[in-house]
Structure 1
Amino acid sequence: MAPQTSGIEFYERDESGRITATATYVPGEGGDGIKVIVPERSRGGRARGGDYLWDLVNVFLPAGYPASVSEDYIGYQIYDSLQAFSSSIAGLLSSRAVLEGFGVGDANASATGALLLTIAQDCVGRLATILFAHRFGPALEAETKRYRLAADVFNDSAMILDCLSPAFPRSVRILMLCCSGSLRAACGVAGGGSKASLSVHFARSGNVGELNAKDSSQETVIGLMGMLAGSFVVSRISSTWATWLSLTLLLAVHLGTNFKAVTAVALRTLNRQRANLVCSDFFDTGKILTPRQAARRERIFEKDGVLRWGGSRVFGNAEIGVRLAALIRSLRQSPGRKKGGEEGVGLAELASVFQNEKYLLWYDAQRCLVTICLKEKVSPEEQLKSWVHALVLAREIRHRWPKGGVDNSNGPSQQALLDTVRKTLDDIGMSFTPMLQRLREAGWDLGVAVLETVPGYRVGACSIEIKGAGKCRDDTTAKGGETKKEI
């Protein structure tokens, strides 16, 4: 019986995991033992023309596609390319209107006047960039979809103002062009910030830089195609009626494809709205929504801070990461503070309820508002717990006191509110940790905090003893012989 020999087969793969070559080593076959090397393309599969087409497409895709990006990447990019194409054509129509507004074709217009108008528009746009980034910058990552779509609403509004401007007197025209410049600045901030967040979401292999570079390549090609098509459109459309009809159709396609693009994205972070959807569904059915399931039920333009149960019923609003003064004001202004001879709830009493938590919260029954103060070193999971607590608390209070704080005679006293806060904290405490584990298994990223849409504040506390001297958390001796200890 002939001795049995064993060989080794080697595979070569590209970044996407596709086999590109195979080598088989068999001992005793003569030479160096390599029996055959077979390029993957010659082993069947795509035709030669298809290979060349695939190589051309790969120029515009991230290395390792599709393994290097999330599953929703290609769906978003298809719609994003369509919206960029229609936006390029519409942009040429608005650019022609801007040139007319600058005086092109008017014998009385001067180059200096057009230059000064351009400078004024640019200055207004730069100031708008600073103001918009300051006001809405913290919310761009938390509300990525909203601001991605809002960016194109701003841009389309600017195009409409540009096309309207030639029909108005010069003074009004200057104002309209400055407004369109500020809208484009807002588009740049909202679009740039939201697209950066989307790039982080799409990248699966730490390839954010390359993904942005390939996105620029795609935009360049789509923009070039749009300019070529737009040149044909602009050269054949001159009447006002035809211009507005074309612009309306292009902007409708632009916004429609943008809406489809953002709805195709299934973000894995839990912002306020997605936390409402996932957590309410968990408490109702015991099931955890996946990012894709939550994306189907997500609203693009949701009211900021709303506490919505199951995507339908609204039980109030919440503010997270607020100043301590806002919490104290909510405690003082709550109806029934001294109802029935009871003393109102104090900050120290509220702090004792949350001594083992990384947050403080209180419910203002008059405004149906939950105020959440976050403590120092609060983790993203603990921020999520505070929001879940606010959602469950608002639902419980609305069920127990349907009229809330509208009718003070039927509203809850502060002591009743405190008891409800304590009860709901105990309720979610038993189910929150198992829920976190199931959220991770469902594909949610809990390591990123995206619940705050404004610059947040953190609260610390120290206990004070009058006798003796001590040190606070920053190792400074307290004045007047007081001893401070962090709590």
Structure 2
Amino acid sequence: MPEIYELDEAGKLTSTYVETINNEGKTRIDVIFPNDGKSPWQKLLDVFLPAGYPHSVTEDYLEYQIYDSLQAFASSIAGLLSNRAVLEGVGVGDASTTPNYAILLSILQEAAGRITTILFAHRLGKAIEPECKTYRLAADVFNDAAMVLDCLSPIFPRPFRVIVFSASSMLRSLCGVAAGSAKASLSAHFARWGNLGELNAKDASQETVISLLGMLAGSLVVSRITTPLATWASLIVLLVLHLMLNTLAVRAVCMRTLNRQRAGLVFQHLIAPKNASMGVPSPAHIAACEYIFYPSSTLFLPVSAVTASSTSKRLAKAHIGVPLITLLSSLAPANQATLSHFPRISISTLLEVFDSQNYILWPHPSTNTYLIILKRGCTPIDQIKAWWHACLLEHMRHQQREKQPVTKSEVKLETVSSAEDAVLERLRQSLEQLNSKFMEWVAELRVKGWDLDTAALETRTSVRIDVSGHSERAKKVDFEKYS
């Protein structure tokens, strides 16, 4: 007799349908439900975990959520201490305080916070997604700083409290924008089955329970802490614990996109002779080497294998997606303040070097900075290639300096007296060297689980150039066959 098995999204058996026919020829269908063997505690956890867990989320989801829940618990208790200080600061219990003062203070706080939200989102909004781990931790630093200001507010004279509360509101606004945007990026990373909406809903359920538990515990703590010394001692302990747990939570995240730092770390691993036989590093390997707070424009110097305990020397910087005017200013003679004169190197010559690429790269002559101009139609893989090209040039420059030591005054990339033809030749050689290995690396990156289809290198609003005839002359590379 036929049997029909019903499975959930994770492939787990939920029910079995068995058809039987008796002697009279009548059909009967029996439904058999398997015994899931879950304890009441496990069934309770299912209320707060995404459906299909652990298959529906990434491997780093549980560790992150544990640390995130613990930090939220500590933050809830610390928040009650700061809220008590705020009430004292606005004049609760002070007969001389008027309602108008409290309303005016609230309006000024709201105004300062909302203006900060708008400015922060405009200035750094695009950088949050590529650097979501950085801004997730930065949000908690902002929030803790706001709590400290709130607790300091009662010691200030009443006119100065307006400034203190406004600064606290601004910090909380920074926290709100950074935490909300970074959390959205992290949720998209954790959601493996396209279950982003459900994952956020379950995360809200977790936060609700943790906040309730934190308020219950905090009510006991606050009722027993009355002296300033005890308040500050408790607050410092809670905030230190809060930041430590947040650091552990962020470090537990294993991102699969290549932002500037991770792209540099991957290239550092690939170019190191000791790692030639190891191939492309995995996202987990790179996550163990990441800095949480890291100047994103800085290039890593590929001098050794990347390990969790190694420290990388940082030298030059690179800017991607810069306007063409920045490149033209770099090409112009140093003694000319305007662009009305011919540059030392013709822009047509530089375009010819990168004719088959979707970017243009040039080392700035007066600073250790590589300028990357993106062409129209540039893909995320093209951006990775451009960034690695800058890393390769810096690596070649470092090797040349080791063979031929230079004086301190000659540390810059290229001086005005340098031969521009040598720079162009170095660009050609490095591009040829990169082309020989790049597509092989791309294929290996995909096998290791890296997401190369999401652009994560641009942290500011950037521009593209459209070179006349570029689309006809550019080489068409089929990236699909490497996916």
TM-score by length of 2: 0.88
Local SS of the residue matching 1:41: coil
Match of 2:434 among 425, 428, 447: 428
Larger radius of gyration: 1
In structure 2, the residue matched to 1:358 is 358
**Contact 1:291–1:444 under 8 Å retained in 2:** yes
Q: Report % sequence identity.
A: 47
In structure 1, the residue matched to 2:314 is 314
**Contact 2:146–2:169 under 8 Å retained in 1:** yes
Local SS of the residue matching 2:399: helix
Match of 1:16 among 10, 19, 25: 10
How far apart are the structure 2 equivalents of 1:33 and 1:334? 92
Q: Following TM superposition, by how much is the alpha carbon of 1:24 offset from its aligned partner in structure 2, in angstroms?
A: 4.4
How far apart are the structure 2 equivalents of 1:290 and 1:330? 37
In structure 1, the residue matched to 2:400 is 400
Local SS of the residue matching 1:40: coil
In structure 2, the residue matched to 1:390 is 390
Gaps of 5+ in 1: 1-6, 336-342, 464-471, 474-484
1:24-423 to structure 2, matched below 5 A, reads 24-25=18-19, 37-41=31-35, 45-46=37-38, 50=39, 52-284=40-272, 285-286=275-276, 287-310=279-302, 312-332=312-332, 344-401=344-401, 403=406, 406-407=409-410, 412-423=418-429
Local SS of the residue matching 1:279: helix
Q: Following TM superposition, by how much is the alpha carbon of 1:365 offset from its aligned partner in structure 2, in angstroms?
A: 4.5
Q: Following TM superposition, by how much is the alpha carbon of 1:28 offset from its aligned partner in structure 2, in angstroms?
A: 7.1
**Contact 2:60–2:252 under 8 Å retained in 1:** yes
Q: Following TM superposition, by how much is the alpha carbon of 1:62 offset from its aligned partner in structure 2, in angstroms?
A: 1.4
How many residues align? The count is 449
Local SS of the residue matching 1:163: helix
How far apart are the structure 1 equivalents of 2:138 and 2:23? 67
Over residues 267-319 of structure 1, what are the superposed CA-to-partner deviations in whole Å (9 max), with x where a residue is unaligned? 11000000011122112223111111110111100112111035612231000
Q: Following TM superposition, by how much is the alpha carbon of 1:37 offset from its aligned partner in structure 2, in angstroms?
A: 4.5
Q: Which amino acid aligns with 2:35?
A: R
**Contact 2:363–2:369 under 8 Å retained in 1:** yes
Q: Which amino acid aligns with 1:180?
A: S
Over residues 115-163 of structure 1, what are the superposed CA-to-partner deviations in whole Å (9 max), with x where a residue is unaligned? 1101101100000000110111010011010000000000000000000
Over residues 214-262 of structure 1, what are the superposed CA-to-partner deviations in whole Å (9 max), with x where a residue is unaligned? 1111111111111111111111111000000110111111111111111
How far apart are the structure 2 equivalents of 1:408 and 1:206? 50
Q: Which amino acid aligns with 1:360?
A: I
How far apart are the structure 2 equivalents of 1:364 and 1:111? 59
Query: Structure 1 stretch 375-384 or stretch 279-288: which is displaced more?
Result: 279-288
How far apart are the structure 2 equivalents of 1:326 and 1:183? 34
Q: Following TM superposition, by how much is the alpha carbon of 1:86 offset from its aligned partner in structure 2, in angstroms?
A: 0.6
Distance 1:119 1:332, change over 3 A: same
**Contact 1:367–1:405 under 8 Å retained in 2:** no
Distance 1:107 1:67, change over 3 A: same
Q: Which amino acid aligns with 1:446?
A: L
**Contact 1:461–1:486 under 8 Å retained in 2:** no
Distance 1:29 1:297, change over 3 A: farther
Over residues 188-235 of structure 1, what are the superposed CA-to-partner deviations in whole Å (9 max), with x where a residue is unaligned? 110011001011111111111111111111111111111111111111
Over residues 24-73 of structure 1, what are the superposed CA-to-partner deviations in whole Å (9 max), with x where a residue is unaligned? 4567798767696542227xx44xxx1x3222211111122111111111
Match of 2:454 among 448, 454, 467: 448
Q: Following TM superposition, by how much is the alpha carbon of 1:486 offset from its aligned partner in structure 2, in angstroms?
A: 9.4
How far apart are the structure 1 equivalents of 2:235 and 2:328? 53
Q: Which amino acid aligns with 1:429?
A: N
Distance 1:325 1:32, change over 3 A: farther
Local SS of the residue matching 1:459: coil
Query: Structure 1 stretch 131-140 or stretch 307-316: which is displaced more?
Result: 307-316
Distance 1:381 1:334, change over 3 A: farther
How far apart are the structure 2 equivalents of 1:25 and 1:403? 85
Distance 1:96 1:405, change over 3 A: same
How far apart are the structure 1 equivalents of 2:408 and 2:66? 49
Query: Structure 1 stretch 391-400 or stretch 405-414: which is displaced more?
Result: 405-414
**Contact 2:64–2:250 under 8 Å retained in 1:** yes
Q: Which amino acid aligns with 1:300?
A: I
How far apart are the structure 2 equivalents of 1:32 and 1:334? 96
How far apart are the structure 1 equivalents of 2:72 and 2:223? 20
Gaps of 5+ in 2: 303-310, 336-342, 475-483
Q: Which amino acid aligns with 2:434?
A: I
Greater relative contact order: 1 or 2 (C-alpha under 8 angstroms, separation 6 or more)? 2
Q: Which amino acid aligns with 1:108?
A: S
TM-score by length of 1: 0.87
